[in-house]
Every structure is written in C-alpha cells, then in structure tokens.
Amino acid sequence: MPGSAQTISLLIVAATVLFAGEADARSGLPRHTGAPALIVEAAPTLAPFQHVRFCLRYPAECTSDAAELERIDATAVNLDLLKRINHDVNAAITPTTKVYGYDLRERWAIAPLSGDCNDYAVTKRHDLVQRGLPAKALRLSVVKTASGSGHLVLVVATTSGDLVLDNLTDAIRPWQSTAYRWLKIQSAADARFWYDIKTPGVAISAARPPEKLRLASR
C-alpha cells in the first residue's frame, strides 16, 4: 500500500539520521547538519610583529611543505590528540601577562614555564607537528574577545570544519561557535604570511591576491 511504503521510508530515513548522530556523539566529533562552515581568507595582511620575531627565532616553525595536506581527517583518534595536546599545554604553562614593545626580551616562546596566549598557541602547534600532523593544517589566528582584548588561538583545519584550540578552555570548539571576532589568520600555503578573515555574509569580489606581505602590524 502506498501509505505504508511511505511510512516505512520515513522511518528508515529517521533511523539513519539518528544512527549518524549517535556515531558522531561516540566519536566526540562536532555535529554538523550540512557542509561545515570554514574560515575564508580575504586580502593579505601584515603579520603580527611578534610572529616575525618568532620566525627569526624558530625558523623551522615557519617553513611550508607544498606536499602536505591542508586538512586532517576528523577521526576520533585525531580529535583525541587535539584534546590531549590542548589540555596538556594549558596545564603545563602558568598564565602570565606580557607587555610587548616596552621590553624587547618579551617574545613568543615554545614551552615556557609561564606565558600568555601566544605561547600557548605556538606550543600547541609545535607539539602537534612533532606528533605527525601537517603544519599546513595548523594555523595561528588573531581574534578579539568579547571584552575587546586581542587574543591568539590555534585553528586546526579538519574535514569536519575548522576547530579551535584555546588556552581559555580545554574544550575543542568549531570556530563559528566561539564568541570571538575573527581578524586574521596564518596562511596555509606559507606559514610566514597572514590573511584577513572574511566577515561572514560579506562577499569577496576578486580572487585571492598573491601573498606579498609578512611585515609586522605591531
């Protein structure tokens, strides 16, 4: 009977959706109802001045391999690694405040005993690369918090979307689920360069221009 066949089809669809949702919950991956919202680069912009200094101090952290993948598979194993590194680095570094510009000794550092958001972010990126994740999928990003403070986080590009590792929380969050205003992000193609981040809902009329800028904004 047509009515019974339609009812059975709807039940099968509902069961399929429920099973997929439960699978996502078991894996710990963020749930998505469609294509994940990704960070979109706009125009090239100046790199943070302290990142330029960081690259001079740690040149291996600012190299790029054209053969590397720009996204990692959003598997339970990879997500567990992200959670572990985020938690371990957050616990290992004692939070402190740095005043850049007045003391030239203040700079971004990998695995310091104490540090600010910048040190947390670059340490997480370093540790994840050491554990085999592609550097091109691990991108530093400058944001502003709800209070208007500048902040640095690590964005991990995955097949399930762009995820955020943050020293303010041990939770791994999709970038669009944060309360931040997104300003600029490290280029995937060349770790020395940075791009403005497209504001959601604003169209970009031209193709992405060549990467030319890597000077400091502060």
H or E segment at 3? helix 2-27
Residue 64 has what pLDDT? 85
Please report which helix (H) or strand (E) contains residue 83, including its range: helix 76-92
3-state secondary structure labels for all residues of 102-142:
CCCCCCCCCCCCEECHHHHHHHHHHHHHHCCCCHHHEEEEE
Query: Structure pTM?
Result: 0.78
pLDDT, residue 35, reads 67
List, for residues 94-138, the tens digit of each pLDDT value. Answer: 999 998 877 778 999 999 999 999 999 999 999 999 999 999 999
CATH architecture of 38-197: Roll (3.10)
For the chain (218 residues), the mean pLDDT of every run of 10, in chain order, is 45 36 40 70 96 97 92 97 98 94 86 98 98 97 96 97 98 96 97 92 42 35
138 within 8 A of 183, measured Cβ to Cβ: no
Provide the edge-to-edge strand list for the sheet that holds 169-174: 41-45, 194-197, 181-186, 138-144, 150-158, 161-166, 169-174
Amino acid 36: pLDDT: 77
Query: How far lies 132's CA from each of 5, 10, 68, 118, 126, in Å?
Result: 50, 43, 11, 22, 10
Residue 34: predicted pLDDT: 55
At 137-153, the pLDDT tens digits run 999 999 999 999 999 99
